[in-house]
Amino acid sequence: MIIMEKSGNILMGNEKRIAFAVNTQGVNDAGFAGVVSSRFWPELAHVGKTELGTVLIKEVDGIEFFALCCHSLEKDGWKNQEEVIKKCFDAIPGDEPVASIAIGTGIIGVLSGAEFEFIKAGMQASKASIILYF
């Protein structure tokens, strides 16, 4: 469930657990995933095919990153958004809150059919405690 909403740069916040979207094709060199891959997790940029619903995890400099495989770059790549987002957040280990960007609101998400109202509903339905950054 969303426990708090914040504005600003998630990487400048105090949270030590950060979630963001990646795609099933494993090409994550653009958008927020591209920022993470270029600054913290280089192998994420071209990780290869990843199954929908998978959560990839890497800790760097005391920050735990959670790459949520929640969409495809193909047409209709955001099918069942609410259910997939819930599944991904529910799969994040631990009980501590996790900060998340507003998944699907960037240019890649918008152009590939993401609908934030469904994504946000999936976040709200999740058992994870989410701090949502806009």
Three-state SS string across the chain, please?
Answer: CEEEEECCCHHHCCCCEEEEEEECCCECCCHHHHHHHHHCCHHHHECCCCCCCCEEEEEECCEEEEEEEEECCCCCCCCCHHHHHHHHHHCCCCCCCEEECCCCCCHHHHHCCCCHHHHHHHHHHCCCCEEEEC
Short-list 126, 78, 77, 74, CA closest to 100? 126
Structure confidence at residue 112 (pLDDT)? 86
* pLDDT at res. 76: 86
Architecture field, domain 2-133: 3-Layer(aba) Sandwich (3.40)
| Amino acid 111: pLDDT | 83
pLDDT in tens, the chain (134 residues): 999 999 999 999 999 999 999 999 999 999 999 999 999 999 999 999 999 999 999 999 999 999 999 999 988 899 999 999 999 999 999 999 999 999 999 988 888 899 999 999 999 999 999 999 99
- Residue 20: what pLDDT? 98
Domain residue ranges of the chain, discontinuous segments joined by +: 2-133
Structure tokens at 97: 């809150």
